[in-house]
A and B are shown apart, each in its own frame.
Chain A
Amino acid sequence: MFEIILYVLVITSLVYSFARDKKKTKIALMKSWKAFMNIFPALAGVLAFIGLILTVLSPDIITRALGQNTSIWGMLLTSIVGAITLIPAFVAYPMAASLLASGAGIMQIAVFVSTLTMVGTVTAPLEAKYFGWKVTILRNGFAYLFSFIAAIIIGIVLR
């Protein structure tokens, strides 16, 4: 749905740009292509890696491993799984919901959702290519710690 909005927006802008200035639009598209080719090798590598990991660590296996965890160890375990894996939202949320239904604690699910979205171990090489390793490690490290704080607050609010 949002992808469609993005496409409509970009195609409209492109047509408008072309109508206003053909030469500038050509330069823009050349820059687009250059920016894409610049990152393509690293991106293809990371995506292939995700394909491999997600198959070995399928959502099914993860759900079974996490089970009905409500301890602090459970939180640690879910956070590590969340930080390493990269699962699209449409897979991750139903998975989190079924974990919750099968008896996992709210804080364990919260830390899972936050680390899953904010911390990207697999995509770190890609992130470092853009912003350097120091920024990448700081951003991911802080996000990892923050996920616990967020989880505790959610646990208190939803009690």
Chain B
Amino acid sequence: MKKYKPYLLLILVLITDLVLLIINRDLGIKVSINTGSHILQMLAILPPIFILIGLLDVWVPREQFMRYMGEKSGIIGAALSVLLGAAAAGPLYAAFPLAAIMIQKGVKFSNILIFLGAWSTMKIPMVLFEITALGSQFALTRWVVSVVGIILMSLIISQLISAAEKEGIYAQHSAE
């Protein structure tokens, strides 16, 4: 039974899809098409990200990461985290495994949160899109407010997570 537990959500959703397909054929078909397109989108963006994770793992020593983004990296570490997150492409869930390898390499916890925050809402490709759709004043104001907000939130959350809890998270990723 334990072997199937990770697939629980997938199985539940697929059962729902199947029921939907039986009671409402048109909607069921639409769901299948949408699900397929999301999985294709994942297959397009994830292979390079996971290859990058493997390469970072073997080529970049822990000391390098710790020096620039570790506990004593200060403002440079925070700035680097913003830059790395903002330079990204892809949905937020693609950032999680990258953050995991950063944790494994000893990157400071608040910098991990800054990286995730920057990735979520400050990505340069997204900002360019936002400028064309909603205007540069809207997009740039939101970007500037987001930089400040994300750094502040990351520092606050980092304070709210105890040292023991952080150790637990770091241990989970270094064990893998």
Interface residues of A (CB under 8 A from B): 1-3, 5-7, 9-11, 13-14, 17, 24-25, 27-36, 38-39, 41-52, 54-56, 86, 88-90, 93-94, 96-97, 100, 106, 109-110, 113-114, 117-118, 120, 123, 125-127, 130-132, 134-135, 138-139, 142-143, 146, 149-150, 153-154, 157-158
Contact A158 B137 (CB under 8 A): yes
Is B75 positioned at the interface, with any CB of A under 8 Å from its CB? Answer: no
A2: nearest chain-B partner, CB-CB: B89
* Other-chain contact of B9, A125, A132, A138 (Cβ < 8 Å): A125
B35: contacting residue among A3, A6, A39, A48, CB under 8 A: A48
A11 CA to B49 CA in the complex, in Å? 11
Q: B94-114: which residues lie under 8 A (CB-CB) from chain A?
A: 96-97, 99-101, 113
Q: Which residues of B contact A6 (CB under 8 A)?
A: 45, 48-49, 89-90
Query: Contacts A118-B120, A125-B9 hold; do A135 and B59 have CB atoms under 8 A apart?
Result: no
On whether the beta carbons of B57 and A31 are closer than 8 Å, the reply is yes
A104 shortest CB reach to chain B, Å: 11
Given A34-B176, A138-B160, 12 more pairs with CB closer than 8 A: A28-B55, A31-B53, A31-B57, A39-B97, A41-B7, A43-B93, A46-B93, A47-B38, A88-B91, A117-B120, A139-B157, A154-B145
User: Chain B residue with minimal CB distance to A110?
Assistant: B142
Q: Which residues of B contact A32 (CB under 8 A)?
A: 50-51, 53-55
Q: Are B129 and A42 in touch, CB under 8 angstroms? A: no
Alpha-carbon distance A14/B117, docked complex (angstroms): 28
- B residues whose Cβ falls under 8 Å from a Cβ of A: 6-10, 12-14, 16-17, 20, 27, 30-32, 34-39, 41-42, 44-46, 48-55, 57-59, 89-93, 96-97, 99-101, 113, 116-117, 120-121, 124-126, 129-130, 132-134, 137-138, 141-142, 145-146, 149, 153, 156-157, 160-161, 165, 168-169, 173, 176
